[in-house]
Amino acid sequence: MPDDALVLAVDVGGGTIKAEIADGQAETLSSAAWPTPPAESAVEAIAQLGRSLIEQVEVAGGGQVSRAGLVIPGLVDREQGRGVYSGNIGWRQLDFRTALEDAWGVPVLLDHDVTIAGWAEWQVGAGRGCDDMFFVSLGTGVAAAIVACGCLLRGGLSQCGEFGHVVVRPGGPECSCGSSGCLEAVSSASAIARAYTASSGQSVSGAADVLDAMPVDPLAVRVWEEAMSALADGLVGVANLLSPERIVLGGGLAASGDALVEPLRQAVAERVKIVPVPDIVPAQFGRRAGVVGAALLARRGGTGTDD
């Protein structure tokens, strides 16, 4: 691909579809975000959003898009271009590549959202220069990407890091996967909001509302601390298993800043007994890590075997 070619990058999240068209210098020419509709209707929404951005750039004389990168949650068959399963959005066996190549008229590369977000942070973000990194995305769900010995790990499903379904609180809240006490059911942004609503009787729209209430509401503090404690227990397991040099915190919850990072640093440092305590840092790209990674995926034509 020419260095100055335009790429379309699309990141499908549990609540929002984010899309950008970027040039060869990674400058954004056009961007938009739409709510993520459930199940099969997501494909048409993604197609429409991408078409609208492509048309905007072409009408403005910005050039033509050469390739697209799409990252999606859940289980992904990147070779066949299919979304195998997403519990949060509710799809099974959706053929994204065929539908979107027809809609956009360009080749489409498909991959797992958190794997690619972590890859982007490793290549050009908060994990740059680190050969052993664990990236965790905290949003509607919880998932991770693993870099070990300078390689992005793929695992048997071509993606690694269903970290959200590690049980940290046996017998705890029911998870969408059917188990109970999973990290995703305790420490995700959506789980924090649910826990506060159940305890207080006050409906909140997200974890940010719980964070905002903490200066005046002891219940909000308790809910937040319980979520951070469970997340720290999960990260201690990661430290003992992989001994990463750096843990990078991404996803929407990472926008909480020190309220997220500092308790985790302290809790992990207190719990880790044998291996070195990993450095815990916020992601450089925050909520944009997925779409930055999707653009990188499109431009490089894949993640490679040693990138």
Q: What is the CA radius of gyration of the chain?
A: 19
| Terminal Cα-to-Cα distance of the chain (whole angstroms) | 18
pTM beyond 0.95, yes or no: no
Please check the confidence at residue 91 and state whether its pLDDT lies above 80.
yes
CATH classification number, 128-283, choose in 3.40.630.10, 3.30.420.40, 3.30.70.870, 3.40.718.10 = 3.30.420.40
Q: Do the domains 6-116+288-300 and 128-283 sit in the same CATH topology, yes or no?
A: yes
- What percentage of the chain exceeds 90 in pLDDT? 79
Distance CA 118, CA 123 (A): 9
Q: Label residues 178-190 b or e (16+ Cβ within 10 Å = b).
A: eeebbbbbbbbbb
Average pLDDT value for residue range 252-262: 92
Cα 52 from Cα 67, distance rounded (Å)? 15
Predicted local distance difference test score (pLDDT) of residue 252: 87
Q: For residue 227, which of 269, 272, 182, 294 has the smallest C-alpha distance?
A: 182
pLDDT tens-digit readout, 201-240: 999 989 999 999 999 999 999 999 999 999 999 999 999 9
Average pLDDT estimate for 142-163: 86
Measured from the Cβ of residue 150, the count of other Cβ atoms closer than 10 Å reads 12
Question: What was the pLDDT predicted at 158?
Answer: 67
Alpha helices in 170-217 (DSSP H): 183-187, 189-200, 207-213
Looking at the domain that runs over 6-116+288-300, which CATH code has it been given? 3.30.420.40
pLDDT digits (tens, 9 = 90+) for 24-66: 888 899 999 999 999 989 999 999 999 999 999 987 777 899 9
When pLDDT is cut at 50, 70 and 90, the band that residue 306 belongs to is very low
CA distance 187 to 291: 23
Domain boundaries, the chain: 6-116+288-300, 128-283
Look up tokens 């070619």; give the residue: 5
- Mean local confidence (pLDDT), 109-114: 94
Residue 143: beta bridge partners? 137
Position 54 scores a pLDDT of: 95
Banded model confidence at residue 71, pLDDT cuts 50, 70, 90:
very high
